[in-house]
Structure 1
């Protein structure tokens, strides 16, 4: 029996077994080990129109179906799928992708900016995330923050430096309540070093650690929450930046796979 805590979210159970296990509900597929999860649906649509994608699986929920595609990049096969908004959906999607047989992941999406001076489109590698969501507490014991896998971060940073792509390694704030990003909350997160705010990183880091797979994330700086008023900065119209980021994620994911093979 678990000890009852003041708040249910603190009642962490370290048991590796649950009543519903992804391996018992999802079939393994014959596909590559590498998978890019992107929140840029328009990039996937354009790749479909260009006949660059072949569907090999699907993540199904009661509200949405997200196809899993296979593409060829630099002569190597890699999977690509659209991410599920929010920590809960992202965790379930990642669980099923792992059960399908994927073991190396790069996630790319957008994030709000909390600190002044960071231009729209600038790239952030979140080295850690403040856990202001609920999912991660069911995978990793309670703590204020969770780290991204340092090995994966090093692979991403080496790629950025080698290709002279500007980026920063920074802390992100993961929250599922984007309509409750108050001034006081933003000030508190900034005071503890958060540069961005998004809705999935802490969950991705927790599930990947629990399932012992390699995962990293790249964030594209979009809207600005650092001023008196929220500024969308028209980030949704930056199509070229989003396409380039997906290409970067595909390349890094393949490099991660190659590095993991050499490390064995």
Structure 2
């Protein structure tokens, strides 16, 4: 019996076996080792319309069903799926993808920027995430941050450098509550070096570390929280940026 703490979120249990394991709800199947998780539904829609995708499985939840597709890129098979928004759902999705047989992941999506000068579409490689969410505390011991897989970070950096694509290697802030990103909390995160804010990175990093799989993430600068007023910057309409980032993610994932 582990020790009761003042706050339940700090009651980490090192027992690796859960009462419900992913293989209790999904079956291992014949899948490629590489999988891209993207938060760009319009890119997936475009690929479907171009007949580039074949559905091979589904991530089922009580409210949302997210298809898992296979495609071919540069002569190699690779999977792609739409990510579940928020740390808890993203963690469960990653768990089931791993149980199905995937072992190498690149996650791509947008993030809010916390510091001035980061243009819409500028790429950010999060090498560590501030754990201001809940799910990571059930996978690794409590700490202020969780690091991204260093091999994955290195591969991403080398690929972007070879392509002459500018990027920032930075700390990100993962939060469960985007409507509670207050001025003081933003200032605190900026003071500790956070450049972006999003809702999944800490969970992805913790689950992949716990399950011993390789996962990296590439973010692009989206809405701006660095000014007096929030600025959406119409990031969601930048279709070409999103398509290019998915293509880059395919290339990187196959190098992991």
Scaled to the shorter chain, the TM-score interval is over 0.9
Aligned to 2:162: 162
TM-score relative to the length of structure 1: 0.96
The count of aligned residue pairs is: 256
Aligned to 2:10: 10
SS at match of 1:59: strand
Following superposition, the deviation at residue 234 of structure 1 comes to: 0.4
Following superposition, the deviation at residue 243 of structure 1 comes to: 0.2
Structure 1 Cα separation of the partners of residues 142 and 30 of structure 2: 36
Aligned to 1:236: 236
Structure 2 Cα separation of the partners of residues 25 and 229 of structure 1: 45
Following superposition, the deviation at residue 31 of structure 1 comes to: 1.4
Structure 1: gaps (5+ residues)? 257-264
SS at match of 2:250: helix
Following superposition, the deviation at residue 29 of structure 1 comes to: 1.2
List 4+ stretches of structure 1 deviating above 2 A.
none
Following superposition, the deviation at residue 24 of structure 1 comes to: 2.2
* Correspondence list, 1:55-204, <5 A: 55-204=55-204
Structure 1 Cα separation of the partners of residues 29 and 55 of structure 2: 12
Range 241-250 or range 22-31, more displaced: 22-31
Following superposition, the deviation at residue 60 of structure 1 comes to: 0.1
Structure 2: gaps (5+ residues)? none
Aligned to 1:261: none
SS at match of 2:29: coil
Structure 2 Cα separation of the partners of residues 19 and 31 of structure 1: 26
Aligned to 2:43: 43
